[in-house]
Chain A
């Protein structure tokens, strides 16, 4: 039997894709479950729940994190970005567009994790070389694509931005 404190609920406030949200949440709920169930943002997926596959990667205060390895209450006061925040007015971002151009997704279950990881990479390093891209995305598993097209897509997105 669990300690009663596990059923405790707290109110948390976070900025979700630029919009403030306030929710009451159980203290032991994972951030990933909170995003999917309480915020109804189901674009973030759970592939392992032990921090290896990277499918649940989101951006928290500007940095990529595994949302399965954090409790929702730990995100109190943070700015959260999920895959749903990448496009503006339904128009794909250059990174998303590059994924489509390069056939960088098949079943798409891992895709949002790769997009969020790539987003942090491109923020820190606008012109990565292929080895850098491969090392950064080596924390995300994809079982369909064999990665080459994901690497190409991230390089393409970097090049597109460079032109701007």
Chain B
């Protein structure tokens, strides 16, 4: 794949720790999140939700609710137009991934409820207090059915069916074999076989989900402000489900208070809120509370993986087998597929290692629980947890140092471009170098010495390593390989106005990722202007080009790439116009300090404002063959996938009395190619690590055997706080991608990918002296689990 040839800009801002242009208005309290948007006459919508995991709906009586003060409408399934009654995900047989059941998710429950929290009815009332009052008055008669809450039970014969028409509970079963797996396992000196499981997590953006829908009948225009990562995808689907022309639906994603994947979906509540606005003729606002967010939005990353690693006595990996079971809950993430979770885990498992043979199964299983959707890293944290634990266990078995075992098997710099066992082309990277650097930052040898000394005093410290490759920014074909019907390109429009100032319109949305700063850095460098002279616009589908949203660590590569490409085309046009006016050849000119200047520090010959005058309103009306104006739109699609790499090292101390684990140092060496703004990259790493620590140690959505959810508040679902997350020590290596514009690789999810693997390895390392077999294969590592492991380990001695 050839890189698009773009001459470098002045290069002053890309790579610099530029302060964020976003911050001032946020700090002043002037952000505008969806709940801050005020339209006159706005009313509130509240949902009646199922208290049962699985039940038949016998009767819904809304009489009392309708009669309550302030109520404008009460909606149930029967009140909805037929077209709008369900989110319907039909599999496209042309897709390269495994076949997939047809999923229909009624936007208000129809005949049955399939998880606790499923929306059954909706109340529209003058304010939220009144809407919630009335919601308590809706009487629903349920006939409870046997629920299936355990994924392994769900695939046994005779298990209750979540969707009767499926015939079983399997949404999707994928599998593949690469290389001679059977012979690899036969030839092995050592085979490590283990079972791993992960908690069910919540993405938990601080701003819950919400939207505000307003329908102007006279103009036949539906406008929805939504806390979404995917404004255009939401628009497309709203239009389709509401039976509206897409050009009569406008979605505005204003400031969004974090998404982390959760807000990269279209939800039943979005559809019902839009319908309510049409029905009542009033703007309708839906802001979920945290309980709804925890029980009724989406969960993530809940898998059971059984895996085997075959090695020879020198520790060289010969083969890998993995069976990934993913509990996807009652429906599927829309409009993509919850099959992604298991698929990504299976695809990412080989990581930075050279593995000659690999066989996997990825099975997505429906249960009577909330649906599983995207959350930072999707299947990658599980893949890394499994692979890195297998390597540590193998190292202990073979009496090889775990760092050394990794070194022996890692892809070397000179191997690039390296096509790995599943066919991903790893274009560049620094796998061994990152590991070496992280070990050096820790002082690995000194740590081992201290560990030995402390053990003799009854203290148990340990070190854990996790290395990974983060697959980022898939192209359209890349997404389809992963089973996602999703575009992998982005478009940017660059506009230089008549005063010579720059506006860039991009399709990707920023909700904490700092695009207003980083994209402006790119455009400013390409156009030789200051950061202040560039403004980035996104989020309003009426203004910006169609975009595929922010997710999969794609925005910097694809949105940034489109910005770079459009800015470069703009630069060429500016230089042509200036060249004609000054009669200096274009190759003697560059853009610098807001002007066209002679190259190599020569004098400015024309300001951008003067160029703009010639472009917009030339004397005599002679545009000299150029299109009038200064506006350029360019679309950019990177190659199949782009790969960042990283090593995390963590040290811990385990309290063998209580099972508590204290994190001591946390080290990350990250290689995401060219960094646009290292300050932002570091911020993403620190924040991602915090989420990974949550997954590894604290966070878990818990259901009982009947599918009743037990973690409906933030007192039960424990997100890490400032006393749980150490300051991450970060170093960077830069292996630019030879294939992407600017050499940029994605990295947004990275921080969250490795902590479960690294921390589990560190705990196992700390406990190693207690017994022969330390089983740290389940996260989160609650004190109780760790205490149980200690007891089991002591018994294994």
Contacts and interface: CB of A to CB of B under 8 A. Distances in A.
Direct A/B contact, Cβ within 8 angstroms: yes
A158 interface: no
Interface string B717-730: 00101110111100
A109 B32 CA distance: 10
Contacts of B622: none
Nearest to B26: A108
Interface string A107-128: 1111110010000000000000
Interface string A30-43: 00000010001111
A111 B129 CA distance: 26
A146 B728 contact: yes
Given A134-B722, A141-B206, A107 B29 contact: no
A105 B29 CA distance: 13
B512 A146 contact: no
B15 interface: no
B690 interface: yes
B23 A47 contact: no
Interface string A122-151: 000000000001110111111111111111
A109 B33 contact: yes
Interface in A67-99: 82-84, 86-87, 90, 92, 96, 99
Contacts of A10: none
Contact of A143 (B33, B204, B726): B204
Given A46-B35, A47-B207, A84 B715 contact: no
B727 A100 contact: no
Contact of B29 (A44, A48, A142, A150): A44
B78 to A, nearest CB: 25
A1 interface: yes
A18 B92 CA distance: 61
B30 interface: yes
Contact of A107 (B137, B257, B726): B257
B725 A108 contact: no
A92 B27 contact: yes
B36 interface: yes
A94 to B, nearest CB: 12
Interface residues of A, number: 60
A150 B35 contact: no
A109 B257 contact: yes
Given A43-B28, A145-B687, A107 B721 contact: no
B contact residues, range: 35 or more
B125 interface: no
B interface SS class = loop
A137 to B, nearest CB: 5
A147 B256 contact: no
Contact of A149 (B33, B35, B686): B686
Contacts of B690: 143, 145-147
A159 interface: no
Majority secondary structure, A binding face: loop
Contact of A111 (B26, B38, B514): B26
Contacts of A99: 23, 27
Given A1-B68, A47-B290, A90-B28, A145 B207 contact: no
B26 A48 contact: no
B415 interface: no
Contacts of A149: 683, 686
B576 to A, nearest CB: 39
Contacts of B33: 42, 45, 109
A158 to B, nearest CB: 16
A151 B723 CA distance: 11
Interface string B308-341: 0000000000000000000000000000000000
B39 interface: no
A50 B30 contact: no
B714 A50 contact: yes
B146 to A, nearest CB: 32
Contacts of A144: 206, 258, 512, 683, 687
A23 interface: no
Given A108-B22, A109-B258, A146-B688, A134 B723 contact: yes
B24 to A, nearest CB: 7
A2 B133 contact: yes
A52 interface: yes
B531 to A, nearest CB: 14
Interface of A: 1-2, 7, 26, 28-29, 36, 40-50, 52-53, 55, 82-84, 86-87, 90, 92, 96, 99-101, 103, 105-112, 115, 133-135, 137-151
Given A87-B28, A109-B33, A146-B690, 12 more contacts: A36-B36, A90-B28, A103-B683, A107-B258, A109-B207, A109-B258, A110-B206, A134-B722, A143-B691, A146-B751, A148-B728, A149-B686
